[in-house]
Each structure stands twice: as structure tokens, then as C-alpha cells.
Structure 1
Amino acid sequence: MTTPKPYDWTQFRTRIPIKASRRDIYNAWTTKEGIEKWFLRSADFVTADGEPRSGQVQKGDKYTWRWFGYANDSQETGEIREANGKDYFSFTFAGSCNVSVYIQDEADETVVQLVQSNIPTDEKSMSGIHVNCFGGWTFYLANLKSYLEGGIDLRNKNEHIKNVISS
């Protein structure tokens, strides 16, 4: 009998098939207009020179993101690490973490795979980042699928309703 490998708290992976083109999925991640339709209340991207980014984000751009259900001072800031223009997008997230998004063809479908890595392994990070981010990404990937396949946005936009999976 083999001994099971210990759980790796430094990363997680989640995947979802989406009936949409690679281009539509990529644009949903890499443009202000796209990412605000399924993920964020507001997304601001600026170039490395501090100029507002129009169109697709580029490597080195900085971002400020805000979600429905949270006050304006609750925001995430980070940097775009990679953006290849077609099927790979990577950014910093939750402090020192890295999130990589892969858009792949598999068994005649388009699959989005998200990997969050470089998660610290202290108790606070294991629950606050690993567990919470995994749950959050699971919902938001399902919402991306819902939005791209049927135009339905599942996010809770009522700021008076708290502690739900959809915000």
C-alpha cells in the first residue's frame, strides 16, 4: 500500500468547459468591458507608465479590481504577469499569489483551467487564501460559463445581501 501524498496547500487547480470561442473567453479575462460582465463591479487597468489601458491588457499592466457586495475601499491590486493575446493570461493575486488562466481545446470543447499558486502555508493563508479563493474561483468560473453560454449573470448585486456565494 502506498502512502498518500500530503495535500499541497501552496496551489490549487480548477477547470470548466465553456461553449464559447477561445477569443471570447480570452477577451472576457483581458478587457475592462469583458471582465466587468462576469467577475468584477469595476476594473481599472493602467500601463506600466501609469496611463489608462484601453483594449486588451498587456504584460506589466497594473490593475485595481472591486467586486459587487463590497465597499469601494475593499479592492484588489496587482500586476499582469503574462498576456499572450490568445489562450494564456496570468496575474498576481491575494498578495504574493499568482493566478494563471489557460484556455485549451479538449475533447471537442473549450476548457478554462485556472491555477492559483505561490500560496503561503501559514494557518491564516491556508484558510483565508487557499480555501476562500478556491471557492470564489469555482463560483466565478461557473458565472463565466453562464454569462458566455446564456447571457445570465449570477452575481449578487444587492449590497444589502451579505454572506452569499455569489458576491
Structure 2
Amino acid sequence: MAENNWTKFTVTADFNVDMRSVYTAWTTPAGLESWFLRKADFYTITGRLRESHESVLKEDTYEWYWHGFDDSAVEKGAVLEVNSIDFFKFTFSDDTIVSVSLESRNGLTILELTQENIKEEPDPSKNLFVQCQVGWTFYLANLKSILEGGIDLRNKRMDIGSNFK
């Protein structure tokens, strides 16, 4: 029996919309804020804040803010690759790397997201492998919901928080 590789995972999703719409949802601040983040700030290599509908470029840095959390919960990272068509790669939590690739197949846009460089944890339930895979699964479902039906599944209320205790 093969051992699990807790350092990398891939999730896929299909979208009944054109590839450009999915790509723009990943590579513009406004796009990311429509389905994923409360606020997505990208900075050019010279430090200029990108406009909301401006596409990100390689070597941009970012500060991302989540619904349900105040501004002290910020994710900082950098754009590693972007090709303006079907590929986007960036750093993410705890020095991991996320790659998003798109292709058209049978009238659908197919998205494949891979997160790698995940540090191994003695308890896999505390590993980013588990936490991020659950998170990406939800957010990809939300992206599908937004693009295909306009319904946002995120909790945006600070008074409820993120854990619904």
C-alpha cells in the first residue's frame, strides 16, 4: 500500500463559463474579491497598488484579507508566474506554492489547482494538506456558484466569525 504524500495535493473543478471569466476571477483584485477574499491588494514591483480590474503580473506581491477576520489576519505572498491565458502560480500559507491551470474540454472550463511544498506534520489533521484542501474545495464551489448562478456562499458577518461556534 502506497503511503500518502502529505506535501502536495490537487483539486479540480469544472465551470460552465468561458475560460477568460475563470482566469480573470483569479488574476484581478476584483475577481478574487468576488468569490474568495474580502480584500485583495496587489503591488507592482515598484510598489504601486494595482487597480481592482487590473491583471496581476509576475513579481507582484499581495496582501489578502478574509471575510470573518479583522485586518490582523493577512496573507502575504507573491505572484510567481502568470501567462494571461490559462496559468497562475503564487506563494501561499507557510511557504507553500499554489498553481492554477485552466483548459477547455467538452464545452467546459476545467480548473486544476495544485498546492505543494506543504511541510509535513506528525498529526495530519493539523497539516495544511487537510486545512487547505478543505478550504480550496469550498472556495472552488463558491467560484462555480458565483460564475454560474451569482450566489455567494461565503459568511461575510464578523459577528458570527469563521467557526460558527
Structure-2 residue corresponding to 1:130: 129
Say whether the 8 Å CA contact 1:120–1:126 is kept in structure 2. no
One-letter amino acid of the structure 1 residue matched with residue 60 of structure 2? D
1:34-113 matched pairs, under 5 angstroms? 34-54=31-51, 55-113=54-112
- The code of the aligned residue for 1:66 comes to Y
Letter in 1 for 2:10: R
Distance 2:124 2:62 in 1: 22
Q: Give 1:126 deviation, angstroms.
A: 6.3
Shift of 1:128: 3.8
Separation of aligned partners in 1, 2:10 and 2:127: 17
CA distance in structure 1 between the partners assigned to 2:131 and 2:113 by the alignment: 15
Q: 5+ residue gaps in structure 2? A: none
1:40 partner letter: L
Residue type at the aligned position of 2:40: A
> Take 1:133 and 1:139, find their aligned partners in 2: how far apart are those partners?
10
In structure 1, distance between residues paired with 2:23 and 2:110: 12
Count of residues paired in the alignment: 161
Q: In structure 1, what residue type is equivalent to 2:105?
A: E
Give RMSD over aligned pairs: 1.4
Distance 1:63 1:41 in 2: 13
TM-score w.r.t. length of structure 2: 0.93
1:23 and 2:28 matched? no
Please say which of residues 47-56 and 95-104 is displaced more in the overlay: 47-56
Q: CA deviation at 1:122?
A: 2.6
Partner AA of 1:93 in structure 2: F
Q: Which residue of 1 aligns with 2:116?
A: 117
Unaligned runs of 5+ in 1: none
- SS of residue paired to 2:35: coil
CA distance in 2, matches of 1:151, 1:85: 24
Displacement of 1:52 in angstroms is 1.3
Q: What amino acid is the match of 1:59?
A: K
Which digits, 9 at most, give the CA deviation of each residue in 1:16-49, with x for residues without a partner?
1111111100000000111100000001000111
Letter in 1 for 2:159: H
- Normalised by the length of structure 1, the TM-score is 0.92
Q: Distance in 2 between matches of 1:91 and 1:124?
A: 26
